Amino acid sequence: MSGLSTAVTDAIAAIEAGPQGPSVGAFFDLDGTLVAGYTAATFYGDRLKGRDVSPAEFLRTVVTAVDGELGGDPTRIAHVAFSAMRGESEEAFADLGERLFRSKIAGTIRRESRALVLAHQRAGHTVAVASAATKYQIAPVARDLGVEHLVCTRLVVEDGQFTGATDGPMLWGRHKASGVRAFAREHAVDLAQSYGYGNGYEDVAFLSSVGHPTALNPHRDLRAAAARLGWPALDLSDPVGGSLLAVGRTAAALAGMNAGVGLGLAYGLARGDLHEGRNAAIRLATHLPMAIAGVSMNVLHQERLWTHRPAIFVANHQSSLDIPVLGRLLERDFTIVAKKEARWDPRAVVGSVVIDPAWIDRSDSESARATLDGVVERIRSGTSLMIFPEGTRSATPVLGPFRKGAFHLAAQAGVPVVPVVLRNTGELMRRSSLVLNPGVVDVCVLEPETDWSVDDMSERIAALRTKFEETLARWPA
Amino acid sequence: MSDVSDEDVERWSGAAGWSSAPELTAMQTLLWRAERHPVQSSTSTVVIDLDRAPDWDRLVAATEWGTRLVRRLRQRVVDPVVPTAAPTWADDPTFDLAYHLRREQVASREEMLVHAAQIALRPFDRTRPLWEGVLFEGLGGGEGAGGAAYVLKIHHALADPLGTVQLLSMLQSGQRAHTPRKPLGDEVVAPVEPDPVDLAVTGFRTGVASLPGTVRATVRRVGLAATRPQLVVGSTLRYGASVRRLLTQAAPPSPELSPRTGRMWSFLTLDAPLEPLRSVARLGGGTLDDAAVALVLGGLRRYHARRDSTVAELPVGVRVSLDRADDLGNRFAGALISGPLSIEDPVDRVAAVRGEVLSLHTERALEVLDVAAPLLNRMPSFVGASALRTAEAPDAFVLTLPGPPHRRYMAGAEVQGMYVLGPLPGAALTVCLVTCGDTACIGVNVDASAVADLAGLAECLAEEVAAFAG
């Protein structure tokens, strides 16, 4: 299961079959195309929440927005917003952009848009985001997608502060089109061979500048125009949002997890075997909540989870869902390493009773080493270890750098490393979200790697990380 | 030699079947009733350059034949006394070819163009067939054989510019020699001379007969609005927004092209080699229509620069197909775009025009006039006239028309160019580009009261033609 719709697979095949190299451009609109929804709305929502927006400014914004919808000048709303930013620090605004990206916008990047971007990157095309938004909205998204070029609206900054004016026109409608054409001239991009993706009615001029326009999740007016103009329309699935039902199911799932833990431990106590009790608790605590939340798994090479135990399981980390998912995969006889500060985190307490993590004190290297020695001992005696080598959850499916700890442990304990690639846990449960959405988690267990030693460790880690990346980019059938 | 060529016969039999609907269409009716010549005019003029003066008797005979082949040329419009029905075509029992076809002597082509503009400015006699042809002789200025020009003035109700060029292409001959025994269409039974009062009464009866259906449809629509208000309100608001965008969002008119009176027409003609125009169009990802608009904008850009004006864009009226974008479909809508004056590179200008024109296809209200025409036609004519005026007039209308692909002859004279000079409904200039063989014949009607330097404008347009030619 590739997880991509047939239409997207076909589009990617067409890109692969078409001309390659940097003279071919691929231009992506941001709002509604690369990401679902409007990044500007996220920014404005934050502004409403955090800082004071005067009733007059709010009213002006609403009236301008409604007028833009009713056939007035739709770019005026942006200019109202830009002039309200006068005097604000550019640096603070850029930081806000990063913060909102991590907390909100990252979760709205469409998986299939990401696949399209990647397909163009593999073809060596010159990929750019072409948007009326500002770089503070676009840059984090573009960086995450590995897109270097931005064709966007620029704001005038003087002495580190916004003046409230734009540098040149707002790149909306015809101005976006001419921005793209100017970019093509500068970068020797052949527009007749290039691709464009947009969703709004204002994108027609931009799309008509390229030889291969695609209306991506188009608004109804663009859809009508695309039909008339003979342009393909491509409908991508949106990242699932937290529906009320999902919220209810999440609560039930949490209750199920606790019930599972309780039942398992009770069973162990009754049998007088805490070890078996723990394993029963893991099974119940992972199966119950995932069943209640409507999350199932599609696992490739499940057998590799059992051939090399005890082992160190390494996985990429995007979501709080990763832990129950891995718990359900590994089923029994495993533990994790956690930092000492997390010990009294109320969410961890229940879990820690079940899997008895090795608590590590990062501030005290002496005691940390002692703990790790203890861990090595536990591994040798049959308990596998589960580690996220990225160290922290990433906001998007893009891999962070791998830390070496897990691999040192593998070398010391003399056990193999089993790589587990998790694809879409971040989509079912966003990074900062407490809501779990129903869906199928795609899991691929890679070939276990044995014989770790300090000598070639760095190269092998890099090679393994590349394997993760490749698996995420081209999900094996 | 005098044999009829197959191609000619085919074309001529096509002409016989040309436009035979008994009534005016809703759109033609709107234009017919709302006409306020010359300010709100529906009259087009075609100027045909000929290599020599054709034999007058032969031209008269050919025209006589043409009016028998295409009955419409002998028919007039009969309007009902009150607008309950569409106007009807009826044979004109008093048809007199001499009223419609005459000849004049001039000393030069410039003089001919001045005369042509004056002919165009004179209103039609609306009780007669709606065309007038004048052969101008002596264009060579007395030197040698000299050229001639045939000027045809035709009303939109009879033929729009596209239809006029089609009709002329169909009626002209593929050879210089005379074709005897030219075919005629089947003898059509002339419609009974309709009475305006009868027409009104019949129209009213039809209206009453269809009343129950109309009422049912209205009730259904009201019912829908009552049961699904969001849907109806939403789509109404979106439609209204689209109308508003179409009417208001083009650039404001250029101050360099005012004040317009619409009462002083001045005709210009230009020739441009077609191939370079087509290749610029291709490079910019556009069509010949887009290139024509870009060419006119380039000329106006030069004109504005010459007069130290810094206008960045101006409104241009274009024709958009309501079927598929690049088809020569049957349904067209006029719409305004903002034409850029700031782009120097012709290729980039074509691309920009292309984007503007295609963007119109997102507007659901593009066909608003088509939809509103039947309703407006039930109202007193001034309502339709003001509806047509609601739209902001563009600075320029630009239209591209396919002309004959091969050499054509009129009564033994070779056609050397065919220029369409459209009306000026509020615009400062109307430009029509007709493709004739390998040449684009560009006819420009200029509101002389709006353009301070007519000769300068002509030079600017010519310079732009040269720029397109590379």
Within 8 A of A75 by CB-CB distance, chain B residues are none
Which of A85-94, A254-263, B371-380 tops mean pLDDT? A85-94
pLDDT class of A3 with cuts at 50, 70, 90: low
Instruction: Find which of A73, A171, A174, A191 to mutate to test the B interface (most B CBs within 10 Å of its CB).
Output: A174
Predicted confidence at residue A440, as pLDDT, reads 82
**Is it the case that residue A348 has pLDDT exceeding 60?**
no
Region A87-93 average pLDDT: 90
Say if the Cβ atoms of B338 and A174 lie within 8 Å: yes
Q: Profile chain B (470 residues) by mean pLDDT over runs of 10 residues.
A: 67 72 80 81 90 91 88 88 84 92 92 95 92 90 67 88 80 82 62 72 74 75 72 74 74 90 93 95 93 97 95 90 55 83 94 92 74 64 65 85 86 91 90 93 96 96 94
For residue B358, give the nearest of A69, A205, A211 by CB distance.
Answer: A205
Task: List all residues of chain B from 9 to 28 with a beta carbon under 8 Å from chain A.
Answer: none
Q: Is B28 helix (H, G, I), strand (E, B) or coil?
A: helix
CA distance B32 to B42: 8
Does residue A449 carry a pLDDT above 70? yes
In this structure, the number of other CB atoms found within 10 A of the CB of residue B22 comes to 11
**Residue of chain A whose Cα is closest to the Cα of B282:** A192
Which has the higher per-residue pLDDT, B178 or A251? B178
End-to-end CA distance of chain A: 6
Determine, for residues A221 and B359 on separate chains, whether the beta-carbon distance falls below 8 Å. no
* Structure-block tokens of residue B470: 């590379």
> Strands A358-360 and A334-339: what pairing?
parallel
Chain B residues close to A211, C-beta within 8 Å: 285
| In chain A, % of residues over pLDDT 70 | 87
Question: What's the confidence (pLDDT) of residue B324?
Answer: 58
- DSSP secondary structure, A122-177, as one string: HTT-EEEEEEEEEHHHHHHHHHHHT--EEEEEEEEEETTEEEEEEES----THHHH
Residue A200, H or E segment: none
Min distance A201 CA to chain B CA atoms (Å): 6
Q: Does any CB of chain B come closer than 8 Å to the CB of residue A380?
A: no
- Residue A205, chain B, CB below 8 Å: the answer is yes
pLDDT at residue A391 tops 80: no
- Report the pLDDT value the prediction gives residue B144, as an integer from 0 to 100: 41
- The answer to whether A259 and A337 are in contact (CB under 8 A) is no
ipTM summary value: 0.78
- Torsions phi, psi for B131 (to 5 deg): -150, 160
Task: Determine the Cα–Cα distance for residues A340 and A347; give it in Å rounded to an integer.
Answer: 14
Task: Summarize the confidence of residues A281-303 as an average pLDDT.
Answer: 79
Distance from C-alpha of A330 to C-alpha of A312, rounded to nearest angstrom: 11
Shortest CB distance from A201 goes to which of B244, B351, B362? Answer: B362
Question: Which has the closest alpha carbon to B269: B436, B410, B42?
Answer: B436
Condensed to tens digits (0 to 9), the pLDDT of residues A142-160 reads 998 889 999 999 999 999 9
Q: What is the mean pLDDT of chain A?
A: 83
Task: Name the strand (E) or helix (H) holding A288.
Answer: helix A274-293
pTM: predicted TM-score of the whole model, two decimal places = 0.77
When pLDDT is cut at 50, 70 and 90, the band that residue A241 belongs to is low
Please state the three-class secondary structure of A405-472 as a single string: HHHHHHHHHCCCEEEEEECCHHHHCCCCCCCCCCEEEEEEECCCECCCCCCCHHHHHHHHHHHHHHHH
Local structure of A373: helix, strand or coil:
helix
Using a CB-CB cut-off of 8 Å, the residues of chain B touching A201 are: 359, 362
Q: In B, which residues are within 8 Å of A215 by CB distance? A: none
**Residue B259, min C-alpha distance to chain A (Å):** 27
Q: What is the largest CA-CA distance in chain A?
A: 76
Q: What is the pLDDT of residue B280?
A: 96
Instruction: Choose from B237, B322, B359 for mutation: most chain A CBs within 10 A.
Output: B359
The reply to whether B240 touches chain A by the CB within 8 Å rule is yes
The distance of A204 to chain B (nearest Cα, Å) reads: 5
Q: Which two tokens stand for residue B245?
A: 């965008």
B363 interfaces chain A, CB cutoff of 8 Å? yes
Of B245, B338, B352, the CB nearest to A71: B245
Cβ atoms of residues B170 and B15 within 8 Å = yes
Q: Is the pLDDT of residue A204 over 60?
A: yes
Position A433 scores a pLDDT of 61
pLDDT range class, residue A349, cuts 50, 70, 90: low
